[in-house]
Structure 1
Amino acid sequence: MVSSRSTAGLLLVLLVGLGTVGFVGGTTVVDPDSDGVAPVAEIRDGTAVFDADTDGDGLEDGAERRYGTDPTAADTDGDGLDDGTEVYEIGTDPLEEDSDGDGLADGTEVREYGTDPTEADTDGDGLADGDEVREYDTDPLAVDSDDDNLSDFDELEEYGTEPTTADTDGDGLADGPEVLEHETQPTVADTDDDGLADGAEVREYGTDPTDADTDGDGLTDGSEVNRRDIFPEADPLRTDIYVEVDTMERTDLERREAERIASEFEDAPLENPDGSTGADLHVTFDETIPWDSETDVGDLNRIRAQHFDQEGLGYHYLVIVDDVAGDTNTGNVIGKAGLGTMMVESQSGRDQTGSTAMHELGHSLGLSNTDFEGIDTDEYRFSSYSSVMNYNAPRDYYGFSASDGSSDFDDWGYLDDHMFTPATSFVGSDD
């Protein structure tokens, strides 16, 4: 505070000075520092009479009056920027600590983060600079802080991903490609829950990370990759079928016959995701079971319960018996099957046991008379329905019908869409 005695002294000095200076060009000199503030007002307000910018902030005292800033304080709003810098250089409000209302002081924006103190969202990503710095730890100068092709705003508001981590779920795929390219979940490492991380499916195995069973063979991709102990030589991009075979004493299914069946599947017109055609039939000869003179359906269920080692593991079960109980109008029954379970009578003719086994495997896979009346009947000539499912087929014939214009029913086409795979409830897909 300036005392009355001091004020009087300063006025005396000022008057003497003015008398000495006199008149210049006919105009009385009343503002020694040319700051637009009369000396009397400067003395009253505590500013320097002979210094146009009392606080040295780049704004002359008169300009400070116009802006409403304090001419005795270089930084009126205490935001870390001089008033003159705010007015003339940056365009911020010298009376407002946070000109753009983004939660960061103007000086902090300029000196620490390099953000624009006149723009609440410097990078235009939908997040205020202050929120990016203090709440999300994102980069207020980058729309996409983690460079994953998703804006910080979208990650937070739409996808629930971490905007500072390119791969939120750690599955080997960046969040952006998951959302924009693969349609996988960027917060779930294994989108289809098949036991394979999304990144591994895309980059290592070529499988579909949104489909647990890429090749549609009833076995999950993860189990085909990780459980080779159960599914040897499995390929998640190619159809695999597994069959366990038990043979009764005094009976046999020759390996050569099993290989003929497998060859028919290998050459089948079935489309696979890897661009190949066909299916891989894996036949496992398991054990020899005690001989019985006759086997009916009840006996088959008992044998299955006692000897089927791959129960719940996606395998079909086939047992070769000495005699299938029952007969028909056209002769003895030599095979019976339901979904997943088969029995075949051992026959003496070359390739006849194998041909019957392929017929019953057709049933086990889903081919049924309810889908085509030519199955298990002699209503169609073999030339019009060339299939082992046709009773008119030669006893040693191997093969299913295909859509070639001559067949009345496409066995392979039906299996391609409806193939049955036994339960895999006991299979874990993790390695």
Structure 2
Amino acid sequence: MFRIGAVVLVTVLLVSVMFPAAGTSPQVNAPSGGGADTPNAQQAEAEANGTDTDGDGLSDSLERSVYGTDPTDPDTDGDGYPDGMEVRCEQAIPDADPLRTDIYVEVDSTQSTTLSDSVQASIVETFDNAPVSNPDGSTGIDMHLVTDDTNLSANGTVYSKPRAGLGNDIYDFRANHSEHRSDGYYYVLLTEDVAYNGDDYFVGAGRPEIAAMERFDSTRITASLFMHEFGHAMGLDAHQDGIDEERYSRTEYDSVMNYNGLYRQLTYSNGTDSVGRNEWQFVAENRTQPDIQCAANGTCSSRCTQA
């Protein structure tokens, strides 16, 4: 989904950042037959500050000749991050690619450990194999899991809805411990006991942009539960046909959002089953996305490359 609000905020930031031109360009008065000198500082600055039709922080010339992005679209890959932010703000969104869909998730834990390497690898691989197309001709989604705090203090069960007191619900943890919320990251909390709608029978809960879940010894079970709850965080909700239900077999509804698929697989549906909902396309184009707020407080600017 293309988020106008997020792009506008970051554009305000990026247009104030002077971007250096890449490569070399010939001087106007270069000697005949003698090649071209390296552009001087004034020429490089003029290139960086050239026409920026889409206001994404990159000049039209750089978009065409260096990055291969669309100078008329501020977010070429439609992942919510403006092109200029993806190529210049490595400290905020490391390894971002303006030509491939990027999703960033901060993972905190109330336990001493976080997601195992094998669980993370399974999740990243599943997104990498997603049947969605990118502007660079590749397929898949780049999932960035940023494992952060551990041993956070929980007041017993962590609830999926706001609850009086500190350390009682997922919103408390995001508000008090998320270090990347303003950068447009989703937030996932690993904890020992989760309650969905007040019922601690459940082992995971997902709300727009956030999720809480328990961990298990099995890589497959933990990764599958993550994919299910993270699906809710992206907007795959129980009011949609088949989600959080058992009335469809896996053949009829081939998705981890189907209770008959949960713990047995990791992927979302591609629209070829009986239910016919292309959940991967929804993830790539229409998912619920956290706002990018770092432009407002200046933290994006301090973590972006400047000329």
TM-score bin, normalised by smaller chain: 0.7 to 0.9
Structure 2 residue aligned with 1:318, among 188, 193, 213? 188
2:244 pairs with 1:381: no
Shift of 1:419: 2.2
Shift of 1:216: 0.3
Contact 1:337–1:363 (8 Å) recurs in 2: yes
Instruction: Provide the residue aligned with 2:85 in structure 1.
Output: 223
Relative to the length of structure 1, the TM-score reads 0.54
What do residues 37-74 of structure 1 show as CA deviations (whole Å, max 9, x unaligned)?
A: xxxxxxxxxxxxxxxxxxxxxxxxxxxxxxxxxxxxxx
Structure 2 residue aligned with 1:267, among 114, 121, 129? 129
2:205 pairs with 1:342: no
**Matches of residues 16-415 of structure 1 in structure 2 within 5 Å?**
170-171=46-47, 189-249=51-111, 252-288=114-150, 289-297=152-160, 298=162, 299-326=169-196, 332-370=201-239, 372-405=240-273, 408-415=276-283
Shift of 1:328: 9.3
Shift of 1:338: 1.6
Return 5+ residue gaps in structure 2 as ranges. 1-42, 163-168
The letter for the 1-side match of 2:253 is Y
Which has the greater radius of gyration?
A: 1
Partners of 1:401 and 1:301 in 2: CA distance: 29
Contact 2:251–2:273 (8 Å) recurs in 1: no
Relative to the length of structure 2, the TM-score reads 0.74
CA RMSD, 1 decimal: 2.6
Contact 2:77–2:98 (8 Å) recurs in 1: yes
Q: 1:220 to 1:327 in 2, by over 3 A?
A: closer
Shift of 1:401: 0.9
Instruction: Provide the residue aligned with 1:137 in structure 2.
Output: none
Contact 2:101–2:284 (8 Å) recurs in 1: no
Percent of aligned positions with the same letter in both sequences? Answer: 38
Contact 2:69–2:98 (8 Å) recurs in 1: yes
Partners of 2:103 and 2:196 in 1: CA distance: 29
What do residues 206-254 of structure 1 show as CA deviations (whole Å, max 9, x unaligned)?
A: 0011111000001110110000111111100000000000011256422
Partners of 2:193 and 2:145 in 1: CA distance: 22
What do residues 371-392 of structure 1 show as CA deviations (whole Å, max 9, x unaligned)?
A: x321111121111111110111
Partners of 1:235 and 1:250 in 2: CA distance: 32
What do residues 243-280 of structure 1 show as CA deviations (whole Å, max 9, x unaligned)?
A: 00001125642221121111011011111000010010
What do residues 145-183 of structure 1 show as CA deviations (whole Å, max 9, x unaligned)?
A: xxxxxxxxxxxxxxxxxxxxxx9x9557xxxxxxxxxxx
Shift of 1:366: 2.0
The letter for the 2-side match of 1:395 is Y
Higher relative contact order (CA 8 A, sep 6+): 2
Partners of 1:409 and 1:277 in 2: CA distance: 19
Partners of 2:262 and 2:196 in 1: CA distance: 22
SS of alignment partner, residue 383 of structure 1? coil
Partners of 1:260 and 1:304 in 2: CA distance: 25
Q: 1:383 to 1:393 in 2, by over 3 A?
A: same
Shift of 1:405: 4.9
Contact 1:249–1:291 (8 Å) recurs in 2: no
Structure 1 segments of 4+ aligned residues over 6 angstroms from their partners: none
SS of alignment partner, residue 228 of structure 1? coil
Contact 1:171–1:190 (8 Å) recurs in 2: no
Q: 1:380 to 1:408 in 2, by over 3 A?
A: farther
SS of alignment partner, residue 260 of structure 1? helix
Task: Give the count of matched residue pairs.
Answer: 249
SS of alignment partner, residue 332 of structure 1? coil
Shift of 1:191: 1.2
Contact 2:106–2:145 (8 Å) recurs in 1: yes
Q: 1:196 to 1:327 in 2, by over 3 A?
A: closer
Instruction: Provide the residue aligned with 2:36 in structure 1.
Output: none
Shift of 1:364: 1.5
